[in-house]
Amino acid sequence: MVNYRFLGNSGLKVTELTYGNWLTHGSQVENDAAIATVHKALDLGISSFDTADAYANTAAESVLADALKGQRRESLEIFTKVYWPTGPKGPNDHGLSRKHLLEGINGSLKRLNTDYVDLYQAHRYDYETPLEETMQAFADIVRQGKALYIGVSEWTAEQLRAGHALSKELGFQLVSNQPQYSALWRVIEGKVVPTSEELGISQIVWSPLAQGVLTGKYQPGQPLPEGSRATDEKGGSDMIKRFMKDETLTAVQKLQPIAEGAGITMPQLALAWVLHNPNIAAAIIGASRPEQLEDTVKASGIELDDDTYAAINDALAPVAVTDPEETYSVSPKSRLI
């Protein structure tokens, strides 16, 4: 079964491996397969599920609702996000304005077939909307009982500090940030994590396997495996390109003997590395087939000893991205129409 961790400085517990449906539900995977995968996640002890209104242009939320039908709502932790364009993508169909936030939560609740979400997250920082307006709208959503907790995604240390201060003034708590984080992408360690630890904010991290590169299935100098994410334009091929250099793939192969020495698989090693960081509340995992989850969920509870953790870092040191300045390039400077 999957272990639980507290989300930020709150009383909410989430499964340290959280199921996410970014690249699968409503687009890459047929609905029947998506529903079967969610049922497998439930069977394996995962109770936390992450989605967003923009995934498959709202379809992913509906598929997740179908998959969770009949489950006891109180036994689930459902997260969704708002910011990216939805619908016809008009001038107010994205961003963090009061208008879009209030319309966004109502749309998400309808599609998810629930009265509330456990965590409502700002999918990016909105430079075109005053932060005060955004945080006031979040406060109202909490007071209306439509979201129990508020989080953000890919915010910088300074943005987290400003958002946290406003949330305290407005009587609610900013509990989480959802950044990309893996043994190959460590940009949050310099500023975001220390600031979050100070403020009582946890990370719920996406792409802990670096889009699958840390599984070791991509070999340097070899053709890409058929049906892999690197070959699927709908499945994140653009995202994975940064990790597909031979230098990176060669370094990743050095993890195989480290995993064997620890008696675990490469995916388990990568997830255990992420969860070794105490500021991480959860690592988001996905799957296109139910059987893929069997191996990955076994990472929950694995504790890497200091020598193994150091060996992973040494192997990837030449290729891991650690520059904290990378956190400033994630959110768009404008809401393009």
Q: Which architecture, in CATH terms, is 4-210+274-304+322-328?
A: Alpha-Beta Barrel (3.20)
Long-range contacts of 222-228 (CB under 8 A, 24+ apart): none
* C-alpha–C-alpha distance, residues 80 and 119, integer Å: 7
Q: Do 64 and 51 form a contact (C-beta atoms < 8 A)?
A: yes
31 vs 8 pLDDT, higher one: 8
CA distance 233 to 230: 8
Tens of pLDDT, residues 133-184: 999 999 999 999 999 999 999 999 999 999 999 999 999 999 999 999 999 9
CA distance 325 to 260: 35
Residues known to be catalytic: 55
Domain boundaries, the chain: 4-210+274-304+322-328
Instruction: Please name the amino acid found at residue 300.
Output: S
Q: What is the largest CA-CA distance in the chain?
A: 55
- Note the pLDDT of residue 87: 83
Say if pTM beats, i.e. exceeds, 0.75: yes
Confidence of residue 1 (pLDDT cuts 50, 70, 90): confident
Taking only the tens place, the pLDDT of each residue in 219-278 is 887 666 555 554 455 555 566 888 999 999 999 999 999 999 999 999 999 999 999 999
**Residue 121: strand pairing partners:** 81, 151
Place of tokens 């984080």: 181
256: tokens are 């195989």
79 DSSP β-pair partners: 50, 119
pLDDT tens for each residue of 70-122:
999 999 999 999 999 988 888 999 999 999 999 999 999 999 999 999 999 99
